[in-house]
Amino acid sequence: MTISNPAKPPKSHKSAIAPKRGADLMHDPLLNKGTAFTRDERLKLGLLGLLPPQVSTPEEQAERALNNMRKRGSDLEKYIDCLSLLDRNTTLFYQVVMNNIEELMPIIYTPTVGLGCQRYAHIFRRARGIFITRREKGMIRDILRNWTQKDVRVIVVTDGERILGLGDLGANGMGIPVGKLSLYTACGGVPPAQTLPVTLDVGTNNETFLKDPLYLGVHEKRITGAEYDALVEEFVTAVQEVFPQALVQFEDFANHNAFRLLEKYRDAVCCFNDDIQGTASVSLAGLYSAAKLTGKKLSEQVILFHGAGEAAIGIGDLCVSAMVAEGLSKQDAMKRCWFMDSKALVESSRKDLQAHKKPYAHEHAPLGDLLTAVRELKPTALIGVSGKAAQFTEDIVKEMARINKMPVIFALSNPTANAECTAEQAYSWSEGRAIFASGSPFPAYKYDGRTFVSGQGNNAYIFPGVGMGVVACGAKRVTDEMFFEAAKELAACASKDDLAQGCLFPPLSKIVEVSARIAVKTAEVAYKRGLATEPRPKDLLAFVKERQYKPVYPNYA
């Protein structure tokens, strides 16, 4: 078996000093080389006899790891196998993942990570990241200092209340920060030693977990109100003291906390919410790409969102900014974005709307179902962010195709089982005219002699590059402008060949390069707005690429 694009050592590959010896060295996944330790290294570092005598090349190790993983009977078993490799040998894990990203991203992240989180307590092997509970109030600084790596630049934190479309998974949600950070490295190039996954275990309202003796989180109902806010505040404050250069990504918080936490901290610390801003950016990129196929500018679109939570409103807000950039007033741009929540159309006569929905409550007669809304509003784009499966029925897709020559249909809910429709359904029900994207991957589909390769509108196209840009320039804040520029750059990376086969995004095999370009756009905004702390280099792209992590073993000899 051939390993594609094996990592090459840098031109200057000087000997490194091993900070540990013997078994301690092999038990540190960031330092361990496994069977790739040379004879000289084994003699020098007290490893002789602790490993089989044959020295393996990194390519041989990767082949062994891939063969073992591919023999597993299910995706969950493959997920466990990948995490076990990450626990043993960080460099080898990233070599395998980065050289096989299209195959392995669905394993280490969506859709498999959702099942991994649901089963977290039952498949647990080794702790990764930091867990913080209400019992640690007043101690969070000390807890963060327990982390062995001291130069942390990216933190992904969740409270586990809204994991993907799966709901409240409590402490089991740790799989999400771990998975997200693996993509920060594999896709964006952020060094793994500079990443930290955190779970704020504030309890769970999931009765199944509370009754499960194997559940590893706090067996208590969720805390709310002032106590919850105080814990988050202490965490954010502690990060500024212990890891002052760290970007904090809020991940999978429920709507009632996500919006207000972002508003509270976005102008105070370096942070963002990926569910709001990352999802918005990749969706806007998809709409820009779709516009190349339909011939209509974004400002000419009418967008109907099925769902009105943090993802939907985040996409709407960024689309409004993009339409304004094309010349519309903000008011006119907002009127081109409509939302259906779990009850009905978001419109001005409703008295039950949450604060984040009210700006989009336009004047319209009440509409109680999605099909009627499509018929009445005649959207050019239908975006699913409901978290519920099979919401885009055959009648709805056919109606979209009746009123549009090329209907734009995005089924973005994760994991795959929660997608509003499948790629096959979108293409077949629209007679091959749909422009389709989804949050989780779908296989290629043949219809009427044409093969469609739908794009995966996954945030992994956005947040790793934005994060790498923040790290590279030392940005003090993350702004919506960064996500706007990231969306434009991602759309620019989709080639004519990509678009011709129905794919609105570049292939995942190019994601490291794409992330580098997005990192440059992110850093350019930081320099333009006076938010960067690092001196601006002459060649920003070369500067970013030089700092992107390469999965190459150190030479300890």
Annotate 491-522 with DSSP letters as a single string: HHHS-HHHHHTT--S--GGGHHHHHHHHHHHH
34: three-class secondary structure by DSSP: helix
pLDDT reading at 130 higher than 50: yes
Q: Which tokens sit at 256?
A: 């009632």
Q: What one-letter code names the amino acid at 179?
A: G
Across 59-133, the runs of DSSP E, i.e. the strands, are: 130-133
Whose CA is closest to 524, among 475, 480, 491?
A: 475
pLDDT reading at 10 higher than 50: no
Q: Which one from 79, 94, 109, 427 is the annotated catalytic residue?
A: 109
Q: Which tokens sit at 102?
A: 């299209």
DSSP state of 414: S
pLDDT reading at 495 higher than 90: yes
Confidence of residue 4 (pLDDT cuts 50, 70, 90): very low
CA atoms of 121 and 216, how far apart (whole Å)? 6
- Separation in Å, CA 261 to CA 218, 232, 268: 23, 9, 11
Q: Are 471 and 462 in contact (CB under 8 A)?
A: no
pLDDT reading at 9 higher than 80: no
For 328-337, what is the mean pLDDT? 97
pLDDT reading at 552 higher than 50: yes
Where would I find the H helices in 89-224?
90-98, 101-108, 112-118, 120-123, 140-145, 175-183, 207-210
pLDDT reading at 471 higher than 50: yes
Go through the domains of the chain in sequence order and give each one's CATH number: 22-106 (1.20.1370.30), 119-269 (3.40.50.10380), 277-459 (3.40.50.720)
Neighbours of 529 (CB within 10 A): 14
pLDDT reading at 194 higher than 70: yes
Note if the bond before 415 is cis, omega within 30 degrees.
yes
* CA torsion, ordered 363, 367, 370, 373, to nearest 10 deg: -50
CA atoms of 41 and 352, how far apart (whole Å)? 67
Res 18: pLDDT: 81
Confidence of residue 557 (pLDDT cuts 50, 70, 90): confident
Name the percent of the chain lying above pLDDT 70: 97
Res 14: pLDDT: 60
pLDDT digits (tens, 9 = 90+) for 387-415: 999 999 999 999 999 999 999 999 999 88
Res 56: pLDDT: 98
CA atoms of 27 and 45, how far apart (whole Å)? 13
Q: Are 247 and 478 in contact (CB under 8 A)?
A: yes
For 263-286, what is the mean pLDDT? 97
Q: Which of the two residues, 14 and 444, has the higher pLDDT score?
A: 444
The owner of tokens 């679109």 is: 301
For 474-494, what is the mean pLDDT? 98
pLDDT digits (tens, 9 = 90+) for 197-251: 999 999 999 999 999 999 999 999 999 999 999 999 999 999 999 999 999 999 9
Q: Which one from 78, 180, 357, 545 is the annotated catalytic residue?
A: 180
| β-pair partners for 436 | 409
Q: Which residues contact 552 (CB under 8 A, 6 or more apart)?
A: 7, 8, 9, 10, 13, 91
The Cβ-side half-sphere exposure at 17, using a 13 Å CA radius, reads: 1
- Strand 247-250 to strand 303-306: parallel, antiparallel, or no bridges (unpaired)? unpaired
Annotated active-site residue 20? The verdict is no
Q: Are 180 and 203 in contact (CB under 8 A)?
A: no
**b/e string for 495-512 if b means 16 or more Cβ within 10 A?**
eeebbeebbbbbbbeebb
CA 25 to chain centre: 32
Q: What is the mean pLDDT of the chain?
A: 95
Q: What angle do CA 273, 506, 417 make, to 5 degrees?
A: 60
Res 8: pLDDT: 41
Which strand (E) or helix (H) includes residue 53?
none
pTM for this entry = 0.94
Res 6: pLDDT: 38
For 69-79, what is the mean pLDDT? 97
Whose CA is closest to 195, among 424, 463, 477, 512?
A: 463
Strand order across the beta sheet in which 303-306 lies: 337-340, 303-306, 381-384, 408-411, 435-438, 455-456
pLDDT reading at 288 higher than 70: yes
Annotated active-site residue 180? The verdict is yes
Q: Are 231 and 137 in contact (CB under 8 A)?
A: yes
Q: Which tokens sit at 215?
A: 């559940």
Res 7: pLDDT: 39
Note if the bond before 379 is cis, omega within 30 degrees.
no
For 360-378, what is the mean pLDDT? 97
